[in-house]
Amino acid sequence: MARSLRDWLAHSPLPHLESRLLWQQVLGVSRTWLITHDADLPDAGQAAAYQALEARRLAGEPIAYILGYREFWGRNFHVSPAVLIPRPDTELLVECGLQAIAGLPSPQVLDLGTGSGIVAISMALDRPDARVRATDCSLAALAVAEMNARALGAKLLFSHGNWYDSQLGSEQYDLIVSNPPYIDSQDTHLVQGDLRFEPQGALTDGADGLSDLHRIAQGAAAYLRSGGVLCVEHGWDQAAAVRALFQSSGFSDVASLRDLAGIERVTWGRLPA
């Protein structure tokens, strides 16, 4: 017997929100449309398409990869399994970066490990006078970032390579931002939940979680102007270690910022002028 959208939603083994998002995806409609048409009967093709998406979600695939997008800093970004799924925590990195360049005209910004491009693109759109370069060692990730920049109308420069070894030339930056892989390779969360589906090279440095943060802090002085700022995201228990890395790399005014859960999530420091 044909079932209405309301019945499909009521009987899905998925949480209501996820089931609704999958139906919106299948039908190409808004939340309001779905609510106002919940007595409609999907046809057999639509029901089969929904069931295929539902089966993927029930097998554990992250909803963002199934939908193909995730909202960040008020905009939708395309995501694929080539990139980390944007996390709300990373908005603190954008906030920190924007604050660091607040008084500077036409600042030069470098985003190391851009993934889907969320940090670089959000900053470029909020500061259209900034010149923002985004790098990644993954060509597949850079392709996603370029697609997002085009779709959202952000003008960025892109470089492929290993951290500072990305043909950066002799350019000097006012700000370097980075959300590098910082999960310890022995952390069992890497083989659980959504993380199983995300690129391992975006999650872990293959070591203790601090090795990429170390490289980024140590190499920054060669690419920052005097008075320039480095701002990084890190794990919930890494703030003290990252502050020490910044201090031993020549930064002053080193401080960590807390996320909405009260966890020290971002650390920044300034090169002496």
Ligand X SMILES: C[S@@+](CC[C@H](N)C(=O)[O-])C[C@H]1O[C@@H](n2cnc3c(N)ncnc32)[C@H](O)[C@@H]1O
User: How many CB atoms are closer than 10 A to CB 11?
Assistant: 9
Q: Does 98 bind ligand X (CB under 6 A)?
A: no
Q: Decide whether 111 or 174 has the Cβ nearer to ligand X.
A: 111
User: How many CB atoms are closer than 10 A to CB 63?
Assistant: 19
The minimum distance between CB 183 and ligand X, in angstroms, equals 9
The minimum distance between CB 255 and ligand X, in angstroms, equals 20
Q: Decide whether 137 or 241 has the Cβ nearer to ligand X.
A: 137
Spatial separation of the C-alpha atoms in residues 143 and 115, rounded to whole Å: 9
Q: Decide whether 193 or 272 has the Cβ nearer to ligand X.
A: 193
Q: Decide whether 118 or 210 has the Cβ nearer to ligand X.
A: 118
Instruction: Determine the interface stretch with ligand X among 61-69, 98-106, 177-185, 264-272 (rule: CB under 6 A).
Output: 177-185
Q: Does 123 bind ligand X (CB under 6 A)?
A: no
Residue that the structure tokens 């959300």 belong to: 179
Instruction: Determine the interface stretch with ligand X among 27-35, 41-49, 176-184, 264-272 (rule: CB under 6 A).
Output: 176-184
Q: Does 163 bind ligand X (CB under 6 A)?
A: yes
Q: Does 148 bind ligand X (CB under 6 A)?
A: no
Q: Does 181 bind ligand X (CB under 6 A)?
A: yes
**Exposure b/e, 78-98, CB count within 10 A at least 16 = b:** bbbebbbbbbebbbbbbebbb
User: How many CB atoms are closer than 10 A to CB 123?
Assistant: 25
Q: Does 264 bind ligand X (CB under 6 A)?
A: no
The minimum distance between CB 87 and ligand X, in angstroms, equals 7
Of 12, 19, 138, 267, which one interacts with ligand X (CB under 6 A)? 138
Helix (H) or strand (E) holding 32: helix 31-36
Q: Decide whether 46 or 200 has the Cβ nearer to ligand X.
A: 200
Spatial separation of the C-alpha atoms in residues 232 and 177, rounded to whole Å: 6
Nearest CA among 234, 228, 226, 223 for reference residue 178: 234
Helix (H) or strand (E) holding 134: strand 131-136
- Please answer whether residues 8 and 42 qualify as being in contact, where contact means their C-beta atoms are separated by less than 8 angstroms: yes
- Please answer whether residues 65 and 79 qualify as being in contact, where contact means their C-beta atoms are separated by less than 8 angstroms: yes
Torsional sign, CA 259, 65, 142, 191: positive
The minimum distance between CB 83 and ligand X, in angstroms, equals 6
Q: Does 204 bind ligand X (CB under 6 A)?
A: no
The minimum distance between CB 137 and ligand X, in angstroms, equals 4
The minimum distance between CB 115 and ligand X, in angstroms, equals 3
For 176, counting Cβ atoms within 10 Å of its Cβ (0-12 exposed, 13-18 middle, 19+ buried), the class is: buried
Q: Does 180 bind ligand X (CB under 6 A)?
A: yes
Q: Which residues bind ligand X (CB under 6 A)?
A: 83-84, 86, 90, 113-116, 118-119, 135-138, 141, 162-163, 179-181, 201-202
